[in-house]
Each structure stands twice: as C-alpha cells, then as structure tokens.
Amino acid sequence: MRVVLDTNILVRAAGGSRGPAKEVLQYVVSSPQHVLILSPFLLAELERVASYPRVRAATKLNAEEMAAYLAYLISPMVSEIVSSTAAPHIVPADPDDDEVVHTAVVGRADWLCTLNSHFYEPVVLGYCNQRGIRIGTDLDLLRILRTLV
C-alpha cells in the first residue's frame, strides 16, 4: 500500500509517542509491501510546524532530535519523495492543503492519512476517490494495516 501521511500525523508519530499515528508510521516503514510517500512540501511543513513551542512540548523533541527525525523520514529506505507539479485547486477551505492532495496523486497513493477536516469535504473526497485514493484518519488506516499483517 502506498501511503501519504499528512503533517498532523507525522508530528503525532514523532519522538517517543505511542499513539495510533506512531503505529501507522511503524507499520508503513517496516513492511516491504508499503511505501511512505512524502514531498518537499510536506517535509518543509513538518519542519516549520515542529518549531512551534506547543509541538516541541508535545513531542518532547529538541531541534537536533527533530532534525534526526526528518533525516530518518527522507531516507530512501523509509520513504519515496515525490514532487508535485502545478495542479488544480482542490481543497476549498485551505489552498495550502492542495499540495498534500497532489502529493498523493503524483505518488500514486492508495491512502492519504490525515486528521485535517478540510480533506473530508465532499469535493476533496470525490477528487481523491476518482484517483483511487482513500482518505482516512490514523485509526482508520491502522485498522486496515492490522488486517494486512
């Protein structure tokens, strides 16, 4: 399964967390049948969000540890990095979220895992569905991944 994890999932999976986001990340990167798909946009957004004081407090990672996490994510053994090209505006509530959708499209993802409510709008769900991309939360994806073991 080819999977895009949105920034909100990647942040929750960082550090010593033990929640569903961490488990999803572990399932995806530890199995040869799954591919984590990232983009320069997602990585830059993760780096930016990781510098927020509330995120640092939640992840309990200092700047060096977050840099190590980012380095881990971009390793060819962990992820496939794709670059999206100019594409139509899809997410009405937040045009920045278009880049996440386009990462999934260009990366031929089967799943886009996010907690962001903007992705659950009918127009976004329809656009992704037409391209074979399911959108769901970390709990939704975790249920699927556990059945594939």
Domain that holds residue 20: 2-147
Q: What is the pLDDT of residue 18?
A: 84
Tell me the pLDDT tens digit for each residue of 23-76: 999 999 999 999 999 999 999 999 999 888 888 888 888 889 989 999 999 999
What pLDDT does 88 receive?
84
Q: In three state form, how does the secondary structure of the chain look?
A: CEEEECHHHHHHCCCCCCCHHHHHHHHHHHCCCCEEEECHHHHHHHHHHHCCHHHHHHHCCCHHHHHHHHHHHHCCCCEEECCCCCCCCCCCCCHHHHHHHHHHHHCCCCEEECCCHHHHCHHHHHHHHHCCCEEECHHHHHHHHHHCC
Q: How many distinct structural domains can be found in the chain?
A: 1
CATH of residue 49's domain is 3.40.50.1010
Confidence at residue 107, expressed as pLDDT on a 0 to 100 scale: 96
pLDDT at 149: 66
- The pTM score is 0.93
